[in-house]
Structure 1
């Protein structure tokens, strides 16, 4: 068994769930086992981008976890970062 964490954050609430999973468990499996969907019902693990310590995972269903990994679930962007910077610059001028 290895110890991993699953993390998700909204502006108003953050949660990190620690759990022990068998070696060979994938990121997607760990998210589903964590029960984070009970805390954040809007999370759909099959359609959510994920990463390990800030580095994106291309295929969470195939990425095997290692001891101490933190699987992070990413929310979709509300606005393109470039557009957000342009909007802020326009407000300042």
Structure 2
């Protein structure tokens, strides 16, 4: 089976590894086979998932699966959005913030 391992070790740094594993391979076995445990020891404690859905280490993989490891968020997305809104003000945000010159409001 062919799968892909993905891990973003830092912002704007993504590691991708296409890997061939035997049928019936679990997420944990794929991680051991890849050699990423030596390269990224923090993967032992990070949650993992398949195609953006959390999974257990014992989850069996299927052909074409994309296995991902998730780092904790540094900033709460809601707090970041509020801070951006305060900086931009009410007039520069929203769906219709950038209009064509001479167009009606809302278009």
Q: Residue 5 of structure 2 corresponds to which residue in structure 1? A: 6
The normalised TM-score by structure 2 is 0.69
Q: Unpaired runs of 5+ in structure 1?
A: none
Does 1 or 2 have the higher relative contact order (CA < 8 Å, sep 6+)? 1
| TM-score (norm: length of structure 1) | 0.78
The equivalent position to 2:49 in structure 1, one of 14, 36, 51, is: 51
How many residue pairs get matched? 88
**Partner of residue 85, structure 1:** 81
Larger radius of gyration: 2
Structure 1's consecutive aligned runs of 4 or more residues displaced over 4 angstroms after TM superposition are: none
